[in-house]
Structure 1
Amino acid sequence: MSRYAGFKLLIVDDHAHNLFTLRTLIEAHMDVRVLEAISGQEAVDLTHQHPDIDLIILDVQMPEMDGFQTASLLKLRKRTRDIPIIFLTAAFKSEEFQQRGFAVGAADYLLKPIEDNQLINKISTYFRLIAKERDLNRVLEQRVEERTQELAEARQYLENIVTYMGEALLVLDPAGVIKLTNPAASRMLGYSAEDLRGMSIGDVFEEEGDEQAGAFMGIWLEALIRTGALSKIEARFIARDGRRVPILFSRTAIKNASGDISDIICIAKDMTGYVRIERDADPEPRQRTAHEAFQGDGR
């Protein structure tokens, strides 16, 4: 039989010889540490001194504070409410008292006289259950820790991508207000991330042929609702110093569970130094690739 080393058991009885008999029996079969209390109040005090008590065997008939009152008080306190309590009594044997014992939170209600092996087996059962629960909790805690680490690494990975990507990233709310940017957007526009947050996209964006900045948001949303994304367009950023920065711009909508747009992701590539090459003289008309659409000027 397992000796259950490391467990701590509190036995409570107002008769010293009962405590001695019970302690002797338990220590003959187990390597648990046994604590003794001769009253309900002493039992409560011991649970404060020893917050790692695993199991309590509690007599019912005691002066001043009986076993039911002691158990009720232990179950009221956060530190002791989860400690299993086994009532062990020779006096209160009726069904009524047994039901009262379970009502105040007892895990078991045993009647004397009880055969020694039966009592040891009962105590062993609770220790096995406690050990199994602790093993399970350790496994769960390890899995939570591992999952937390995985999520932290994934988040850091994504943050690194956003931080170091060469294109400007702007995340808008459905009304076109900037919620989030990356460092490339700040460099391109000349604003800090704090300055950009809360600005309207119309304050920093100018689409070719659009004379009224900001008027395109309605068209954007309508198209994004239909398709979820818009093809890349030629446009310009309006930098803080008034410069017009030519960009290749794309927009993608993120929808929530209700199907409504929650965010608009905008990605802009700085096209400064690139010149459009028109290939009207191609002998055989064909679809131009994205690489052929723009060519660097060699600077």
Structure 2
Amino acid sequence: MSRYSGFKLLIVDDHAHNLFTLRTLIQTHMDVAILEAISGRDAIDLTLEHPDIDLIILDVQMPEMDGFQTASLLKLRKRTRDIPIIFLTAAFKSEEFQQRGYAVGAVDYLLKPIEDNQLINKISTYFRLIEKERDLNRRLEQLVAERTAELAKAHQSLANIIEYMGEALLVLNPEGEIKMVNPTACAMLDYSEQDLLGMAIGDVFEEEADEQAGAFMGTWLEALIRTGALRQIEARFIAKDGRRVPILFSRTAVKDGDGRITDIICIAKNMTGYTRLDDGEDEGHSAAQATQSVALPRS
């Protein structure tokens, strides 16, 4: 017989013959592990020794510590508060008794003398509920594990893109301090990642017009707040040794649900080796094309 094999049941009664009757009846119908306690104190001690108890059948009328007191103490402890308790009683049949039993955490109660089928059906009902709950928990754990693996894979994929992308990536906080960089940015600026983190963007960046050089967190930030993004501009990075590295630069604001900027994403393309064809440099271009500033690689 393997019905409910693996479950553990605690029966509590101060009369040894009642324990014997309960144990014999249950073992006739179920292959469960049974623990016995002859008092409320003994029951509490057993629950501490066996944290895997699944169900408690608890006699109400016991000396020193009755079933209500025992149940109350069990519900106070985190390790035992969720164990279902079925009360057994020969004396109390009133609604007041039932309410008191439920108030201290009982899930059900049975009257003595015990009707065999009723007892077995009650126990079976709670074991089936426990089985369903455990199956659900296992399924949820599996789904969480699968989702965690998917997120880890996506995170690794994103990390690889950031790691190997050809453009410099800098993420700033709203105050313009660098909070994240990719290897391309470190190589372009000749700083280590640790050196760059916490630096102000103004220390490594300047726009072409002198009057804009100090406005990184000024005029353009106002535009970011309004629109969330700015078009690419021509600017320069200031490398560690003071070299000016020409770049094509774009910046985008990341906002929270209230519209506040939380991060500023900056992407820079190294334009070293490229030269600009200004108006009139290429007479073969159309008038419309000649009015644009086009970056072409030097031959």
Q: What TM-score, normalized to structure 1?
A: 0.93
Instruction: State the distance in 1 between where 2:274 and 2:171 align.
Output: 26
CA distance in 2, matches of 1:135, 1:8: 17
1:134 equivalent in structure 2: 134
- Equivalent residues in 2 for 1:266-281, closer than 5 Å: 266-278=266-278, 280-281=282-283
Give the drift of 1:88.
Answer: 0.7
The one-letter amino acid paired with 1:224 is L
Is it true that 1:294 corresponds to 2:290 in the alignment? no
1:222 corresponds to: 222
DSSP-derived class of the 2:250 partner: strand
Structure 2 spans left out of the alignment, 5+ residues: none
Aligned-residue identity in percent: 77
Deviation track 1:49-80 (CA, whole Å, cap 9, x = no partner) reads 21111000000111121111111111111111
- Alignment match, 2:83: 83
- Report the CA distance between 1:170 and its aligned residue: 1.0
Q: What secondary structure is seen at the aligned counterpart in 1 of 2:263?
A: strand
Stretches of 4+ moved more than 3 A in 1? Answer: 277-280, 283-288
Identify the residue that residue 48 of structure 2 maps to in structure 1. 48
Deviations 1:161-194 (A, max 9, x none): 1122121111122232222111111111122222
After TM superposition, the structure 1 = structure 2 runs for residues 196-215 of structure 1, keeping only pairs within 5 Å, are 196-211=196-211, 213-215=213-215
- Could you tell me how far apart the structure 1 residues matched to 2:235 and 2:205 are? 8
Question: Alpha carbons of 1:183 and 1:26: their partners in 2 closer, same or farther (altered >3 Å)?
Answer: same
Provide the alpha-carbon RMSD of the alignment. 2.0
1:157 equivalent in structure 2? 157
1:125 CA drift (Å): 0.5
CA positional deviation for 1:294? 2.6
User: Partners in 1 of 2:23 and 2:156 — Cα distance?
Assistant: 56
Letter in 2 for 1:104: V
1:11-160 pair list within 5 angstroms:
11-160=11-160
For residues 211 and 240 of structure 1, what CA distance do their matches in structure 2 show?
Answer: 23
| 8 Å CA contact 1:174, 1:221 repeated in 2 | no
Counterpart CA distance in 2 for 1:86 and 1:280 is 94
Structure 1 residues without counterparts, runs of 5 or longer:
none
Shift of 1:242: 0.5
User: Does structure 2 conserve the Cα–Cα contact (< 8 Å) formed by 1:235 and 1:249?
Assistant: yes
Instruction: Give the TM-score taking structure 2 as reference length.
Output: 0.93
